[in-house]
Structure 1
Amino acid sequence: MYFDVIVLGSGPGGYVASIRAAQLGMKTALIERESLGGVCLNCGCIPTKSLLNTAKNLQKIRENKDLFGIKNPLEINFSKIISKSRQVVDTMKNGLSFLMKKNGIHVIYGNAKLKNGKKIEIFKNGEKFEECCASHIVIATGSRSKIDNKTIPQDGKKIIGYKEALSLTFLPKRIIIIGSGSVGLEFSYFYHSMGSKVTIIEQCSKLFPNGDEEISDQLKSSFDKRGIQCYVSSFVRGINCNNKEILVDIHTLDRDFSLEADIVISAIGTVSNIEFLGLEEVGVYTKKGFIVVDENYRTNVEGYYAIGDVIEGPSLAHVASHEAIVCIENIKGLNPQKIDYNNIPKCVYCLPEIASVGYTEREAREKGYQIKIGKFPFSALGKSVCDGNTEGFVKVIFDDQYDEWLGCHMIGNHVTDIISEVVVARKLEATNHEIITCIHPHPSLSESILEAIAHAYGKAIHL
């Protein structure tokens, strides 16, 4: 079977690449070894957001039950909450399957192995059942949980990764979560909201290690207040399991101790799914576990491309999707605009939510910028007070010399819904004056961005 484009992997990079290729008139095939949608749809972005939405609704009722007139204690049907998240996944998968048919994309299920001559052999249960070839092959096989079997030996039952954490059949009383990136933070918030005693172990000196320091400080304060135990500058020295519980040996700056848990969730990062593709046979170059590509996502071998988590860069669904479009449009010769990787929004959907784009304050100073900083707390914002969600703030960072918007960092309820204004403004190289003179609706969360910028330039009205 011959195609113009074959895409390996159907995650947010792969399925978008397939659809865009088909839209541009190319005969397209998509090879997937498991389920349409990849990690994002099946055991990542989508099911976790369903769970977190339930957790946020539950928290809102708990914290405002007197206001709402709710007196009876709330009971949790944990299995039904998990089941609902799977129903959401099924709905989205049906939609994705429809898009494949609508765009005439040939979907093949199996494990792909690259062969010379731009051929691909496809296997099921270890046996080859099909072979196809293409002018262009796009590798979008994504990533999986990083496993440290020496210190954190995952058994899929008591010591687990994100996949197992999404489908537990019982609610653990005590959970230890190793790592405080987006995965660790979101699971921490969810399970704590369900009633589990949650402990976070983070090797770096702050929660959310890649975030702005003030955001990390606010997050830790919020988690501490809610009763989520957080150990930073700490690491796991070893884990011992027996039939009833797990004993985790922990090292901190000032002491060593052990904690008991029913479940340990490892959230220490991801690794790319590239080792079984046959890259060596066709000569595609890799470095430090990633496929090496140029700015147009071409590998060193003509006709082979790579996008998403298999290349170095932010492991984010929206990044993979945009890389897919740029890659395919380059194949078609459309000369699309290249991605500015410093203008990619990064979001965490725990409560309080986190949203950021651009440089942190530390990064801006390290790069030699003279900066102006503005902040506006949600406690001073009418919409937040009305909603009863006054925790957090918006922080903006501008270059003092040229008025360039260097970065923006937010923490609070629904901040992931307003970060896009900043992304668009930075893309258009908007100045502080242009944003301040854009009238924002009142009351709205978006006013916090305007107010933070006004604060940076000594024009704040509501502070």
Structure 2
Amino acid sequence: MAETSFDMVVVGAGPGGYVAAIRAAQLGLKVAIVEREHMGGICLNWGCIPTKAMLRSSEVFHLMHRAKEFGLKADGVGYDLDAVVARSRAIAKQLNSGVSHLMKKNKVTVVMGEASLPAKGTVAVKTDKGTETLRAPHVVLATGARARELPGLEADGDLVWTYKHALTPKRMPKKLLVIGSGAIGIEFASFYNTLGTETTVVEVMDRILPVEDAEISGFAKKQFEKQGMTIREKAMVKSLERGKGTVTAQIEQGGKTTAETFDTVISAVGIVGNTEKLGLEALGVRVEKTHVVTDAYCRTGVEGLYAIGDLAGAPWLAHKASHEGVMVAELIAGRNDVHPVTPDSIAGCTYCQPQIASVGMTEAQAKEAGHKIKVGRFPFIGNGKAIALGEPEGMIKTVFDAGTGELLGAHMVGAEVTELIQGYVVGRQLETTEEDLMNTVFPHPTLSEMMHESVLDAYGRALHF
């Protein structure tokens, strides 16, 4: 049994864990990181990156079919599913290797194996060579989360898929049911629907993309339906009956239950934190609904033990995990200028077609919080760059406090909005008011001009619509 001492041990090498390790090493700490499967975690290997690679393939495929609109010719357009998947996996592998390189560059000790915490300040790692014991006064848990599975809807990899199966399909679904319309569900629905799969999305809430602003959700729904998707809201899949090559779903909606047959089902009904087998209960760590309870600085209440990223709860976003990792590393290193990550200033992005992005309060949330508000909107059809790109369908919406001019929230749907949203994120971080945004000069011709126009519209000053 090997035993080694460090200043900090990180459990989990996803976007939270590996970034925490790098930042701590930069600050002069002796750091070890434990990973049981893949450097880079779910995001890099099975989530954020490979899904975007596949969605890019479907986007190009879609554009090839529109070649005539751009004065181009593209005959016999098709796709090779195996090649699409191979490209996605190659990109994930490349970035996985990149994380390993960063660990070496920053002199972080990497231990591959499954970790548990037998005592405070101790991490036991089961490796292929036996058990290795790591000791440190500071331990950062970054074990992430996995797909939630509901009774009766469990994945089998054949007819019923999780995100992992959907990323490495052995066949192209002909008729697909997607259960859940959050970011994961909608992205896979968009990918497969674009490649020609007959796609149905079932959402238990009263609208798809339920965390988004209602107006944006409604706009997106119309676009998805124009693309041929079937959207069923306020509906629930009660059971799945698996047959030979088909699965029959009992779908309840409006008090009636109907049976519909599909050849593939993707379950995207949320995630659960990876808290098992760590020994958290014995240490006195509080776990609620599979997630570790922490304070604003990711402290668990057990001295020297922190939890970051998906393990520590919503929002379940890689960039939130990374910033929490940096914050915790700086806290451990003794920096006195550490600020907690504020969830309401973290952007959410969904890479379907059209893209969706948002930050801060929705219009409804702002009203519920007691704000008197001013709301601005600007459509893509009023923007020259959007028309030139052939992307006139979309909208940017901004919500301001009527009294102070504070930017409470921003919500977008349309081409490249996942890139545009960062402008408003910076604005919120700098406590920007409507006057600052109105007086900012946006370059022309760009999609970003719509951000300016949306602000102007909130105050009755829009110029181009």
Q: Which string of whole-angstrom CA distances, capped at 9 and with x for unpartnered residues, describes residues 78-125 of structure 1? A: 110000000101111111111010000110111001011422211147
Inter-partner Cα distance in structure 1 for 2:255 and 2:120:
59
Q: How far apart are residue 332 of structure 1 and its match?
A: 1.2
In the other structure, the counterpart of 1:452 is 454
Alignment CA distance shift 1:71-1:44 (3 Å)? closer
Match 2:341 to one of 339, 342, 348: 339
Inter-partner Cα distance in structure 2 for 1:330 and 1:317:
20
Q: How far apart are residue 262 of structure 1 and its match?
A: 1.2
In the other structure, the counterpart of 2:186 is 185
In the other structure, the counterpart of 1:439 is 441
Does residue 353 of the first structure (1) align with residue 329 of the second (2)? no
- SS of the residue corresponding to residue 239 of structure 1 reads strand
Is the 1:179–1:267 contact (alpha carbons within 8 Å) kept by the matching residues of 2?
Answer: yes
Is the 1:151–1:236 contact (alpha carbons within 8 Å) kept by the matching residues of 2?
Answer: no
Q: Which string of whole-angstrom CA distances, capped at 9 and with x for unpartnered residues, describes residues 144-187 of structure 1? A: 00011x23122122111111110012111111000000000000
Is the 1:114–1:281 contact (alpha carbons within 8 Å) kept by the matching residues of 2?
Answer: no
Aligned positions of 1:12-161 closer than 5 A: 12-65=15-68, 67-124=70-127, 128-148=130-150, 150-161=151-162
Inter-partner Cα distance in structure 2 for 1:68 and 1:3:
62
Is the 2:19–2:326 contact (alpha carbons within 8 Å) kept by the matching residues of 1?
Answer: yes
In the other structure, the counterpart of 1:211 is 212
Aligned positions of 1:316-331 closer than 5 A: 316-331=317-332
Q: How far apart are residue 71 of structure 1 and its match?
A: 4.9
How many residues align? The count is 461
Q: Which string of whole-angstrom CA distances, capped at 9 and with x for unpartnered residues, describes residues 52-80 of structure 1? A: 11111111121233534325231210110
Match 1:363 to one of 362, 365, 372: 365
Alignment CA distance shift 1:117-1:365 (3 Å)? closer
In the other structure, the counterpart of 1:174 is 175
In the other structure, the counterpart of 1:221 is 222
In the other structure, the counterpart of 2:8 is 5
Q: How far apart are residue 255 of structure 1 and its match?
A: 3.0
In the other structure, the counterpart of 1:418 is 420
In the other structure, the counterpart of 1:406 is 408
In the other structure, the counterpart of 2:237 is 236
In the other structure, the counterpart of 2:429 is 427
Inter-partner Cα distance in structure 2 for 1:65 and 1:308:
45
In structure 1, what residue type is equivalent to 2:350? V
In the other structure, the counterpart of 2:277 is 276
In the other structure, the counterpart of 1:301 is 302
Is the 1:61–1:68 contact (alpha carbons within 8 Å) kept by the matching residues of 2?
Answer: no
In the other structure, the counterpart of 1:393 is 395
Q: How far apart are residue 254 of structure 1 and its match?
A: 5.3
Inter-partner Cα distance in structure 2 for 1:65 and 1:86:
32
- SS of the residue corresponding to residue 342 of structure 1 reads helix
In structure 1, what residue type is equivalent to 2:227? R
In the other structure, the counterpart of 1:250 is 251
Q: How far apart are residue 29 of structure 1 and its match?
A: 0.4
Task: Could you list the structure 1 runs, at least 4 aligned residues long, displaced by more than 4 angstroms after superposition.
Answer: none
In structure 1, what residue type is equivalent to 2:363? E
In structure 1, what residue type is equivalent to 2:360? G
- SS of the residue corresponding to residue 418 of structure 1 reads helix
Structure 1: runs of 5 or more not aligned: none
Alignment CA distance shift 1:65-1:87 (3 Å)? farther
Structure 2: runs of 5 or more not aligned: none
What is the aligned-residue identity percentage? 40
Q: How far apart are residue 300 of structure 1 and its match?
A: 1.4
Inter-partner Cα distance in structure 2 for 1:138 and 1:182:
27
Inter-partner Cα distance in structure 2 for 1:71 and 1:36:
40
Inter-partner Cα distance in structure 2 for 1:461 and 1:172:
46
In structure 1, what residue type is equivalent to 2:238? R
Q: How far apart are residue 128 of structure 1 and its match?
A: 4.0
Q: What is the TM-score of this pair, normalised by structure 1? A: 0.97
Inter-partner Cα distance in structure 1 for 2:120 and 2:372:
54
Q: Which string of whole-angstrom CA distances, capped at 9 and with x for unpartnered residues, describes residues 396-437 of structure 1? A: 001111111111000000001011110111111212121111
- SS of the residue corresponding to residue 25 of structure 2 reads helix
Is the 1:121–1:128 contact (alpha carbons within 8 Å) kept by the matching residues of 2?
Answer: no
Alignment CA distance shift 1:71-1:349 (3 Å)? closer
In structure 2, what residue type is equivalent to 1:49? K
Inter-partner Cα distance in structure 2 for 1:60 and 1:86:
23
Inter-partner Cα distance in structure 2 for 1:132 and 1:426:
41
Is the 2:10–2:20 contact (alpha carbons within 8 Å) kept by the matching residues of 1?
Answer: yes
Give the aligned CA root-mean-square deviation in angstroms. 1.2
In structure 1, what residue type is equivalent to 2:399? I
Q: Which string of whole-angstrom CA distances, capped at 9 and with x for unpartnered residues, describes residues 2-48 of structure 1? A: 11100000000000011011111111000000010100001000000
Is the 2:442–2:448 contact (alpha carbons within 8 Å) kept by the matching residues of 1?
Answer: yes
Q: How far apart are residue 129 of structure 1 and its match?
A: 2.5
Inter-partner Cα distance in structure 2 for 1:73 and 1:379:
31
